[in-house]
Structures are given as C-alpha cells and as structure tokens.
Amino acid sequence: MATHVSKMARREAFEGYLFILPWILGYILFRFGPLLASLYLSLTNYDGSGLPKFVGFENYQYLFTQDPRIIDSIRATFQFVGGFLPLSLVIGLTIAILMNQKVRGILTFRGIYYLPAVTTGVAVSLLWLFVFNKQFGVLNAILSWFGIAKIGWLVDQNWVMVSFILMALWGVGGTMIVYLAGLQAIPTELTESATIDGANTIQRFFHITLPLLTPTILFNLVTGLIGAFQTFETSYIMTSGGPNYRTFFFGLNIYLTSFRSLQFGYASTIAWILFILIASLTLFVMSTSRRWVYYAGEK
C-alpha cells in the first residue's frame, strides 16, 4: 500500500513539474539567464560589438570613486521614493476607506479612481507635460485664479521633484484597490461587536481596522518601494534627467549609459547597484514586519 501511494505521489509530482515546465523554461531564458548575463557584463567593458573585455571590479571601483552622476541618481531616486511612497500609502488607504462605503454608484467611483493606474507611462507623461507647462499649463492657469505667479514645474530644480511626486500620486488607484480588498476581508463581526461595546469610529479604526490591515500595508509598502526605485519613463520623456540632474533616476542613468553611451558593461554595474539597494531595503522592511504586522491566524 505504501509503495502504491509513493508511486502515485511521484507521478503527481512529475505531472505537476511537467505542467509548470513552460514557466520554468521562460523564467530561465528571460529572467534568470539575463540576470546572470548582466552580472558577468558588469565585470567587463562592452560596447555592443565584438566580445566583452573582462576588467574585474574596475567598473565598481569607478562607480564608487569617480562617477559624478551616481550621486545624482542616488539623490534623485531617494528623494522621489521618500516623498512618494509615504503619501501613496496614506492617500491610497484614505481613498480605499471612502470607496468601501455602501452608497449608490460606488462601483463607478472605484473605476474612476482606479483608471489612472492602468494607463501607460508614456500617455501619462504626455498628459502631465501639458498640465505642468509653465506658459500654457492647466495647473498654472488654475493657480493664477488665486493670484499665484507661474511656476516652472519641470524647469525649476526646486519644483521638479514635487511635480514628479504629484504626477505619481495620480496613479494611486492600484494601491487603493489592494487596500480595498484588505478592508473587505476584515470580518464585520469585529467592528459590530466593538460598536456595541461603545467604540467610536476612530477607536474602531486604530484598534481593529488598522491592525488587521497591516499585512496589506506591508504588501503595498514592499511593492511600492520596488516600483518607485525603478521609475524611468516619466523622467526620460518629460525632463531627460534635468534640470541640473534633479530627476536623473537610476533607471534613466542605466538607459542613457547603455543605449546612448554604449557602455553596456558599466550600465550593468549600475543596474546591479540598484538591485542591491532594492533587495537590501526590501529585506530590511521584511525583517521589521514581525514587530508591526499582525496576522489573524497566528497565535
């Protein structure tokens, strides 16, 4: 009997691996393979023609000691992440709470708030180029009604990062949808019991809703962190990294280094530094989650 069961288990395992074989091959060919190739290229000088010339850690040494633009990329990327991510988490949660109300037409409002999250980066960038235009932009036209002088949103280095953060917050609908799913997964019996016991809205939120929502907050925090560090399209289309390298994000740096300067080896080095930064911060967030994330199924 035991032998028969083991044969069935092996057969089921074989069939399972057979079914996921296309995904495994796709991952090796299009994910893991290029990852290893970029690691090798980061140790070479390669301009896209001929064979890569192995140089060891010279690219990394140049990056940390001589490249003046890597500091610009670190500054721009961290400023964007530090400004956008907290606002995204708070605003997304606020909108999700509003969209969780049982009122007529709420499905329509949910669709409206989520719609910007599914638009392409190029289309969004072109739209906001019109909004932020100093002379004819919609935003400056609205501000002029209140007597505020025209602001060079994309040409003034003091305002350009504010512009990028505002533009990114326009697509907060993706975060909102995840929060909404988390809110709807909270048992209504808990809030009803708290209401009967005399808890008001604020008390129910901080003692029931927020603790049960911490796994969702963790998910949005990690995915938002990873996505924000890889921002690229907006800076490429709208500012090309300017003014004064204030929007010279890592993604744009990698693109220009590889496809404009044809330094594919050094671009791979920058990409791996970005990967290490993202992985380190993600691991740090995950390591702290045991202190503030509450899972209802755990004892």
147 shares a domain with 240: yes
Q: Is residue 152 in a domain?
A: yes
158 shares a domain with 108: yes
User: Which residues make beta-bridge pairs with 53?
Assistant: 45
Q: Is residue 31 in a domain?
A: yes
Number of folded domains that form the chain: 2
Please calculate the CA angle 96-101-102 and round it to the nearest 5 degrees. Answer: 145
Expressed as residue numbers, the domain containing 6 is: 1-36
Per-residue pLDDT tens digits for 117-128: 888 788 889 999
145 shares a domain with 2: no
Q: Is residue 54 in a domain?
A: no
The answer to whether residue 3 scores a pLDDT higher than 80 is no
Please calculate the CA angle 149-155-158 and round it to the nearest 5 degrees. Answer: 75
Tell me which of 81 and 7 has the higher pLDDT: 81
Task: Please give the full DSSP string across 231-288, using - where no structure is assigned.
Answer: --HHHHHHTTT-STTTT--HHHHHHIIIIIS--HHHHHHHHHHHHHHHHHHHHHHHHH
The answer to whether residue 65 scores a pLDDT higher than 70 is yes
75 shares a domain with 140: yes
As a whole number, the mean pLDDT across the chain is 92
Tokens in use for 96? 């999700």
Percent of the chain with pLDDT strictly greater than 90:
80
Q: Is residue 227 in a domain?
A: yes
Residue 150 confidence class, pLDDT cut points 50, 70, 90: very high
Q: Distance between CA atoms of 167 and 128, rounded to whole angstroms?
A: 7
90 shares a domain with 219: yes
How is residue 209 annotated by DSSP? I
Per-residue pLDDT tens digits for 156-169: 999 999 999 999 99
HSE toward the beta carbon, residue 36, CA cutoff 13 A: 6
Per-residue pLDDT tens digits for 68-94: 999 999 999 999 999 999 999 999 999
Q: Is residue 210 in a domain?
A: yes
155 shares a domain with 279: yes
The answer to whether residue 2 scores a pLDDT higher than 80 is no
28 shares a domain with 72: no
31 shares a domain with 79: no
Specify the CATH number for the domain of residue 204: 1.10.3720.10
Task: Name the range with the highest mean pLDDT among 106-110, 147-151, 263-267, 292-296.
Answer: 263-267
Residue 8 confidence class, pLDDT cut points 50, 70, 90: confident
223 shares a domain with 108: yes
pLDDT at residue number 86 = 97
194 shares a domain with 107: yes
89 shares a domain with 28: no
Q: Distance between CA atoms of 233 and 259, rounded to whole angstroms?
A: 15
pLDDT at residue number 122 = 87
Q: Is residue 299 in a domain?
A: no
Q: Is residue 45 in a domain?
A: no
Whole-prediction pTM: 0.91
96 shares a domain with 181: yes
Q: For residue 154, give the amino acid letter.
A: L
Q: Distance between CA atoms of 60 and 72, rounded to whole angstroms?
A: 17
pLDDT at residue number 60 = 97
Q: Distance between CA atoms of 128 and 163, rounded to whole angstroms?
A: 9
Per-residue pLDDT tens digits for 86-117: 999 999 999 999 999 888 889 999 999 999 88
Residue 5 confidence class, pLDDT cut points 50, 70, 90: low
Q: Is residue 233 in a domain?
A: yes
Per-residue pLDDT tens digits for 223-241: 999 999 999 999 999 999 9
Q: Distance between CA atoms of 256 and 267, rounded to whole angstroms?
A: 8
